[in-house]
Amino acid sequence: MITEKEVKEGGYTVLPRGGWIYVDPEIMPRDWDDLAKNFDFDPDCEGVYLCIAGFKERILEEEI
C-alpha cells in the first residue's frame, strides 16, 4: 500500500478524498495486457477501477 508520504515524495498533490477512474480494455487496447500484468489483474476482465490518491500536473514547455 502506498503511503501519503510516498505520494508527496513523488511530487504529487494528495487529494483530500480519493477518487476512482473506471478503465476498460476499449480505452487502451494496445496497453491493456501490460496494465493487467503490472497491476496483477485478470486481462480478460470487463474493466477495472483505479483508486486515485493524488495528481501531478504535466506542464508543456512553450515553443519559442
Q: What are the start-end ranges of the E strands in the chain?
A: 13-23, 48-55
| pTM for this prediction | 0.63
Reading the chain (64 residues) residue by residue, the pLDDT tens digits are 888 999 999 999 998 888 899 999 999 999 999 999 999 999 999 999 988 989 899 888 766 5
Q: How far apart are CA 38 and CA 33, in angstroms?
A: 9
DSSP conformation class of 61: P
Q: How far apart are CA 29 and CA 52, in angstroms?
A: 21
∠ CA 20-22-31, rounded to 5°: 120
Ordered by start, the domain boundaries in the chain are 4-55
* Residues written for the chain: 64
Confidence (pLDDT) at 61: 78
